[in-house]
Structure 1
Amino acid sequence: MTHTITSPAPVPETSGRRNRLSQDPDVLFCYGTLQFDAVLKALLGRIPERAPACAPGYRAAALEGRVYPGLVVNRFGGAASGVVLTDLSSEEWRILDAFEDERYDLREVLLSNGTSGWAYIWPGGDVRAEDWDATVFEARHLAAYAARCARLAPGLAAGEPKDK
C-alpha cells in the first residue's frame, strides 16, 4: 500500500475514539509504553512482530500527571524513536485502541525508512517541555503499569470500557 505523507500536521483538539479504527490501520508505530514486552504481553497475551522505527518531525513528550508520553510535533527537528508492530490482528487493534487514552488521535505518520505507520498522537495540552524517558519509566513505573494492564486486559478483550 503506497501512501503520500508529507509532514506532521497539527492535530485537532477533539479526537474520534469511535471512528479511530475506521481508517483500517495496518502498522502501529509505538513510541511509549507499548514498546515494552511486559505491557504488550499483559494487554494482548503475546508480543507481536516488531521492528525499530523513527518518526521524523515528532517527539515523545512527557505529559503532566501521566507516566506515559504523547507523540507531538517537534518544532525543533529530530525524530521520535520507537518500534512498529507489524502483525496485529483486528481484535488486537480493538484492544489497543480501547486501552489508549480517548484524547489520542490515530493518524498515519511518515517513518524514517520512507514507509508509513499509524500512531496515537497527543492533541495538545498537558505537554511538558522535556521528552518522555523510557529508561525512567522502566525503572520506576513499568512493573505497576504492566500489572494494571493485566488487570484491564480481560475487560478490554470483552469490549468493556477502560476504567478512568
Structure 2
Amino acid sequence: MKNLFVYGSLLFPEILEGLTGKLFKTSDAILHGFKRYAVKGADYPAIVENTSSKVKGKIVSGVDEKSMQTITYYEGDQYDIVPLKIVFENDVIETFVFVWNLEQDDLETQDWDAKRFEQESLPYYLTEVVPETVEEFRRIDFRASLG
C-alpha cells in the first residue's frame, strides 16, 4: 500500500472513487519545495520544483497497486510519479506525487483554481472523463493479461 499526495482533480473524492471504485482515507497536507500552476489550455494543474513555494493538497492513504496503476493511467505521461518524503502530523512519511515532466512554457503563470474546476469541469469529469479512463484502462489491462 502506498501514500499519494494529490493537488488537482484527485482532490475530489468522487473522481478518486470513480477511478478506483474505492474510498480512501485522505488528510490535508502541504508539499514544500514545489509550486502548482494551471496547465495552458487545460482544466488541470501541474507542479514543478520551486524551493521557495509550497502546495496545499491531500495525502491519500493506503492506495493499492491496481488503484495506483489506474490513477497513473489517468494522470498520463506528462507527469513522472516521484517518491518524496513529506512532513505530516509531526512525522515524515513516504508518499508519491505526480510531477510535471514537460516544458514549463506549457504552464500558465497563475495557480490552478479548484473552485473553478468544481463548477466548470467536475460534472464532465464524472460523466465522461472518469468512465472513459476506467474503460480504456480495463481494455489495456485485459490485453496485457493475455500476454
Under a length normalisation based on structure 2, what TM-score does the superposition of the two structures give? 0.83
Query: Which of 62, 72, 87 is the matching residue for 1:87?
Result: 62
CA positional deviation for 1:110: 3.3
Secondary structure of 1:157's partner? helix
Query: 2:114: which partner in 1?
Result: 134
Query: 2:137: which partner in 1?
Result: 156
Query: Structure 2: which 5+ residue stretches go unaligned?
Result: 142-147
**1:27 lines up with 2:27 in the alignment:** no
Query: Which of 112, 115, 118 is the matching residue for 2:96?
Result: 118
Secondary structure of 1:143's partner? helix
Task: State the one-letter code of the partner of 2:81.
Answer: L
Structure holding more helix per residue? 2
Q: 1:101 to 1:78 in 2, by over 3 A?
A: same
Query: 1:108: which partner in 2?
Result: 83
Task: State the one-letter code of the partner of 1:152.
Answer: T
CA distance in structure 2 between the aligned counterparts of 1:98 and 1:124, rounded to whole angstroms? 17
Contact 1:56 1:110 in 2 (8 A): no
Paired residue total: 136
Contact 2:78 2:102 in 1 (8 A): no
Contact 1:55 1:109 in 2 (8 A): no
Under a length normalisation based on structure 1, what TM-score does the superposition of the two structures give? 0.75
Task: State the one-letter code of the partner of 1:102.
Answer: D
Alignment of 1:19-58 (within 5 A): 26-58=2-34
Contact 2:6 2:60 in 1 (8 A): yes
CA distance in structure 2 between the aligned counterparts of 1:47 and 1:135, rounded to whole angstroms? 22
Contact 1:71 1:122 in 2 (8 A): yes
CA positional deviation for 1:150: 1.9
Structure holding more strand per residue? 2
**1:71 lines up with 2:47 in the alignment:** yes
Query: Structure 1: which 5+ residue stretches go unaligned?
Result: 1-24
Contact 1:26 1:88 in 2 (8 A): yes
User: CA RMSD, aligned part only?
Assistant: 1.9
How many percent identity over aligned positions? Answer: 23
Contact 1:30 1:83 in 2 (8 A): yes
